[in-house]
Amino acid sequence: MAQKRWIEINCDMGEGFGRWKMGPDEELMRYVDVANVACGFHAGDPSTMVRTVRLAKQHNVRVGAHPGMPDLLGFGRRRMAVSPEDMYAIVLYQVGSLAGILAAEGVPLNHVKPHGELYFYIQRDATIRDAVLRAVRTFNVPIYGLATKDMVEDCERIGLKLVSEFYPDISYNDQGQLMPVAESDPVTPEIISKRVLTFAVEGRVLSKAGNVVDAPVDPQGFSICIHSDLPGALDNAAGARAAVDEAKKQI
């Protein structure tokens, strides 16, 4: 049996803009422990951020900042070249805006979690990773991300706590690495539940090619991410919650 781990569920929220709404945030709150609130660059706006923080506070859900690329049209999932110092400022600006709203609402900032392309950018580019980690360190909170070797080592070097994540609604490759949303297979609540249980109990994932592989994770615990913008998000969250409750009985 795998070493005992703590498990939580986080969800990307507040990803609408103006009159455009993305995801059933109100319904999702009852299934999650942590909300990652979009900060205006890939999605979100000041009013949406305030509403989402208040909603999370009402449901006793912890709140983290969800900064992304400056890419509203592409929902922060398109590649673009950004200098490290510009990236440092971009992340600092976004997290700072949410931190101000949280202070006004009497809610602490729980963490920072990069969104979409930024999430992958910090994995493949050391200078961008350093810029983002330096910006996050300013707020003295953990960063959520993949526990790859480079990420773990750089967080330790900078003095930043890393909370490792698992994604049951996105595919993994045969190297145990997360694949982009556009390249992932669709899921069902049953698939979500099976993936969560397999990962929580065995520390392994079923790759897109059908192979069982190990995936990097902190043996002490991890956070499960559910995407509010994917089809069936509410059912996926319910499946994940049921699987987490079952996994806690087994580990």
Please report the pLDDT score of residue 218 as a whole number.
67
Torsion on CA atoms 217, 80, 86, 128, rounded to nearest 10: 30
Domains of the chain: 6-250 (3.20.20.370)
The pLDDT of residue 177: 83
Q: How far apart are CA 35 and CA 13, in angstroms?
A: 6
CA distance 251 to 243: 12
pTM (predicted TM-score): 0.91
For the chain, where are the alpha helices, taking DSSP H only? 25-28, 46-58, 84-105, 116-124, 126-137, 149-158, 189-202, 233-250
Conformational region of residue 170, where left means phi above 0, alpha means psi within -120 to 50, and beta covers everything else: beta
AA identity, residue 184: S
Type of residue found at 220? Q
pLDDT (0 to 100) of residue 119: 95
Distances (CA, A) of 127 to 86, 87, 200: 11, 10, 32
Average pLDDT along the chain, 251 residues, taken 10 residues at a time: 73 92 91 97 97 97 98 94 98 98 98 96 97 98 93 96 92 86 87 89 85 75 88 90 84 68
Q: Interhelix angle for 126-137 vs 149-158, to 10°?
A: 40
**Given this model, what pLDDT does residue 94 score?**
98
Q: What is the pLDDT of residue 249?
A: 75
